[in-house]
């Protein structure tokens, strides 16, 4: 299989389908109609793809209820945990962590170091990140057993109840992209009403919804102003669904399209101008088509048909960071780095949010030994228990070294990448067979993943 490029303005739609024989994650590219299988034998009928903020990775719960992390560029897959189907997976704003609920705990999983920690929270659901990256929103029962919304710091402190709900169970809790408003559905499936709550004032708004009060799978627009959802309707002899949008205060309802399915997931385009949804149920329980409708009022367009399709999600808008290119004829490498950083030497650049420095290593043949020697240096520059993650960079053996929580503060969150040179590089009188990049932990993968040898 090969990686698929994309137009960041139009984005890409990840969807779950059995069009290849078994349920897997597929990709549809709106600009040219290409559809492409991303996984083989890893998906399940209940798999929902969740895009990372940089549109590079997809998290999903697949076969065996295993949480998978898929790199859409390299198509590498990591299996990280086993949890209940349909559990919400939510990426941190910086794309490093994944939050989800398991066995009465909120799990925060570091996708860089592949370590996790837990915040005990019995009965919690729908854990997700505030834009600050330092707090989480979640639903959980209060002392009387009624579901409320709470917020808590990612270190487990400063837990606060947001709502004073008396309407019973809350479902499908989703935080707006700006972190100001949360939506939820209540009380169940036969009747499903969408409400929003302003997190600052506590004011609650109820959306009118469809004719049968069966309003499902609400999702926020990228600008946090609107909500799209599937509203079930009935016309003898079949149920169908209306694709509706409304403002977050419930004062601007519009019906954009209809699907012949009882309910359908809906997904906003990165610019908020279009909505994708499923149709083609034709009396069956699963859809077989993806349609896209322009919210400006144009007719819906069927863009894909075939197999059973159970879920879809459009990739988010990616905010591109201006970059400079570091090139070294001495170390024989090139890679991009943030344009706001300042070169302070031939080997180092620094900024307010990070740094990098380069060097080379002359060492033995086993890269595992080289990585271990660096990670567990007697001075403990990465803390007492750093994590080594073996990788392949530019087809060469490589490893990332991620620091442990007790790393000395003066190391400025330093992580490392060691890569075997394609051929030994001579610097002065010495030949070096490994390149080493040091950078802060929040930039090491981004920079290292774009490393090229000269």
* Domain stops at, among 296, 314, 332: 314
Query: Helix, strand or coil for residue 358?
Result: strand
Flag whether 8 is in a domain.
Answer: no
Flag whether 1 is in a domain.
Answer: no
| 203 and 148 in a common domain | yes
Flag whether 173 is in a domain.
Answer: yes
| 278 and 133 in a common domain | yes
Edge to edge, what strands does the sheet with 287-294 contain? 34-37, 24-29, 13-17, 301-314, 287-294, 274-279, 266-268
Flag whether 72 is in a domain.
Answer: yes
CB 350 within 8 A of CB 447: no
Structural domain including 417 reads 323-453
Q: What is the pLDDT of residue 446?
A: 85
Query: How far apart are the C-alpha atoms of 242 and 128, rounded to whole Å?
Result: 28
Q: What is the pLDDT of residue 352?
A: 93
| 331 and 301 in a common domain | no
Give which of 224, 181, 177 is closest to 200, Cα–Cα: 181
| 280 and 425 in a common domain | no
What would the DSSP string read from start to end of 398-453? EEEEE--TT--GGGTTEEEEEEEEEEEEEETTEEEEEEEEEEETTTHHHHHTT-EE
* CATH code for the domain of 171: 2.120.10.30
| 70 and 35 in a common domain | yes
Number of domains comprising the chain:
2
CB 159 within 8 A of CB 148: no
| 53 and 151 in a common domain | yes
Give which of 365, 420, 423 is closest to 391, Cα–Cα: 420
Edge to edge, what strands does the sheet with 57-61 contain? 50-51, 57-61, 66-71, 77-82
Question: What global pTM score does this model have?
Answer: 0.82
* Domain stops at, among 286, 314, 342: 314
Peptide bond connecting 237 to the previous residue in cis, omega within 30 degrees of 0 = yes
| 425 and 333 in a common domain | yes
CB atoms within 10 A of CB 110: 17
Query: What phi and psi, each to the nearest 5 degrees, are found at residue 409?
Result: -60, -30
* Predicted confidence pLDDT, tens digits, the chain (454 residues): 444 445 556 899 999 999 999 999 999 999 899 989 999 999 999 999 999 999 999 999 999 999 999 998 888 899 999 999 999 999 999 899 999 999 999 999 999 888 899 999 999 999 999 999 999 999 999 999 999 999 999 999 999 999 999 878 999 999 999 999 999 999 987 899 999 999 999 999 999 999 999 999 999 999 999 999 999 999 988 999 999 999 999 999 999 999 999 999 999 999 999 999 999 998 778 999 999 999 997 899 999 999 999 999 999 988 777 889 999 999 999 999 999 999 999 999 999 999 999 999 998 779 999 999 999 999 999 999 999 988 888 888 999 999 998 999 999 999 999 999 999 999 999 999 999 999 999 899 889 988 999 9
CB 167 within 8 A of CB 188: no
* Domain stops at, among 268, 290, 314: 314
Q: What is the pLDDT of residue 73?
A: 80
Flag whether 124 is in a domain.
Answer: yes
| 332 and 293 in a common domain | no
| 305 and 211 in a common domain | yes
Flag whether 7 is in a domain.
Answer: no
Edge to edge, what strands does the sheet with 160-161 contain? 125-129, 135-141, 147-153, 160-161
| 139 and 49 in a common domain | yes
Q: What is the pLDDT of residue 321?
A: 76
| 223 and 145 in a common domain | yes
Q: What is the pLDDT of residue 3?
A: 45
Query: How far apart are the C-alpha atoms of 363 and 25, rounded to whole Å?
Result: 42
Flag whether 5 is in a domain.
Answer: no
| 310 and 331 in a common domain | no
Flag whether 399 is in a domain.
Answer: yes
């Amino acid at each position: 299989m090969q990686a698929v490029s994309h137009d960041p303005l139009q984005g890409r739609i990840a969807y779950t389908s059995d069009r290849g024989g078994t349920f897997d994650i597929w990709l549809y590219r709106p600009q040219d109609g290409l559809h492409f299988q991303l996984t083989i034998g890893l998906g399940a009928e209940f798999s929902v793809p969740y895009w990372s903020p940089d549109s590079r990775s997809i998290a999903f719960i697949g076969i065996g209820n295993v949480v998978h992390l898929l790199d859409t560029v390299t198509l590498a897959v990591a299996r990280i945990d086993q949890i209940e189907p349909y559990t919400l997976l939510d990426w941190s704003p910086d794309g490093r962590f994944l939050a989800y609920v398991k066995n009465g705990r909120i799990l925060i999983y570091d996708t860089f170091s592949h370590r996790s920690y837990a915040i005990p929270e019995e009965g919690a659901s729908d854990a997700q990140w505030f834009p600050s990256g330092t707090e989480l929103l979640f639903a959980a029962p209060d002392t009387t057993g009624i579901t409320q919304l709470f917020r808590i710091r990612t270190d487990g402190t400063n837990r606060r109840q947001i709502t004073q709900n008396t309407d019973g169970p809350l479902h499908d809790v989703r935080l707006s992209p700006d972190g100001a408003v949360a939506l939820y559905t209540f009380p169940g499936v036969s009747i499903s009403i969408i409400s929003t709550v302003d997190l600052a004032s506590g004011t609650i708004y109820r959306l009118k919804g469809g004719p049968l009060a069966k309003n499902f799978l609400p999702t926020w627009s990228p600008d946090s102003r609107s909500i799209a959802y599937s509203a079930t309707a009935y016309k003898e002899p079949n149920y169908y669904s209306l694709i509706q949008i409304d403002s977050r205060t419930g004062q601007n309802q519009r019906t954009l399209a209809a699907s012949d399915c009882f309910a359908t997931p809906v997904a906003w385009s990165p610019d908020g101008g279009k909505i994708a949804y499923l149709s083609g149920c034709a009396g069956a329980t699963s859809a077989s088509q993806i349609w896209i409708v322009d919210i400006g009022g144009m007719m819906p367009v069927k863009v894909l048909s075939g197999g059973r399709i159970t879920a879809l999600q459009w990739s988010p808008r990616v905010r591109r960071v201006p970059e400079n290119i570091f090139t070294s004829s001495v170390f024989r490498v090139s890679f991009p780095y943030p344009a706001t950083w300042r070169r302070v030497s031939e080997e180092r650049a620094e900024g307010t949010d990070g740094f990098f420095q380069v060097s080379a290593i002359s060492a033995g043949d086993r890269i595992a030994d080289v990585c271990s020697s660096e990670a567990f240096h007697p001075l403990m520059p990465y803390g007492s228990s750093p994590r080594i993650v073996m990788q392949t960079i530019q087809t060469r053996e490589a490893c990332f070294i991620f620091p442990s929580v007790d790393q000395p503060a003066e190391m400025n969150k330093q992580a490392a990448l060691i890569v075997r040179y394609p051929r030994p590089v001579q610097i002065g009188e010495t030949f070096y067979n490994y390149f080493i990049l040091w950078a802060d932990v929040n930039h090491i993968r981004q920079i290292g993943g774009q490393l090229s040898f000269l």
